[in-house]
């Protein structure tokens, strides 16, 4: 059986992968917004090293946001796992807009980077939240299904 935090780690990793695919497409095919890994590389004071930004991106999504969501999920006031994920991701966006963005030099809520970056951060956080909530809910449901199968199995 997986703990809630372990489920959060898996869900956070899956959500980070999903967002990273879209982030990579943004960076490779148009670069219409500043990508989150780029912002993190600036925050870490290594703007010329995108690898560091990607590592920080995966660490934040997997090791911080995933487990935090798992802990807070039962307390979030919405009905579906996806809306819980979006609500959580919006809160993460607000915290990031007030802390990471100014530290990266793009102003509160990325306003110095332009509206495209602000819009991109909102969209990418919504994607993250939908995948996070969906994967977490699937893991919870899977465990309940397996638990009920074990509970009804004949004893040997």
What local confidence, expressed as pLDDT, does residue 10 receive? 98
What local confidence, expressed as pLDDT, does residue 152 receive? 52
Residues 6+ apart with CB under 8 A from 133: 11, 69, 73, 80, 81, 82, 83, 84, 85, 86, 88
Q: Is 90 exposed, middle or buried (0-12, 13-18, 19+ CB in 10 A)?
A: middle
When pLDDT is cut at 50, 70 and 90, the band that residue 137 belongs to is very high
- Predicted TM-score (pTM) of this structure: 0.87
Query: Whole-angstrom Cα distance, residue 22 to residue 29?
Result: 10
- Count of CB atoms within 10 A of residue 98's CB? 12
Residues 6+ apart with CB under 8 A from 141: none
């Amino acid at each position: 059986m997986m703990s809630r935090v372990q489920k959060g780690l898996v869900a956070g990793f899956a959500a980070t992968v999903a967002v990273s695919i879209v982030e990579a497409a943004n960076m490779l095919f148009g670069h219409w917004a500043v990508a989150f890994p780029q912002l993190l590389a600036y925050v870490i004071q290594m703007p010329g090293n995108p690898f560091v930004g990607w590592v920080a991106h995966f660490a934040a999504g997997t090791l911080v946001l995933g487990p935090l969501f798992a802990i807070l999920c039962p307390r979030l006031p919405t009905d579906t796992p996806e809306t819980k994920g979006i609500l959580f991701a919006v809160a993460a966006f607000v915290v990031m807009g007030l802390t990471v963005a100014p530290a990266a030099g793009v102003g509160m809520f990325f306003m110095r980077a332009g509206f495209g970056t602000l819009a991109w951060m909102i969209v990418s956080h919504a994607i993250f939240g939908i995948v996070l909530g969906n994967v977490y809910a699937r893991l919870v449901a899977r465990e309940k299904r397996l638990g009920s199968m074990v509970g009804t199995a004949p004893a040997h």
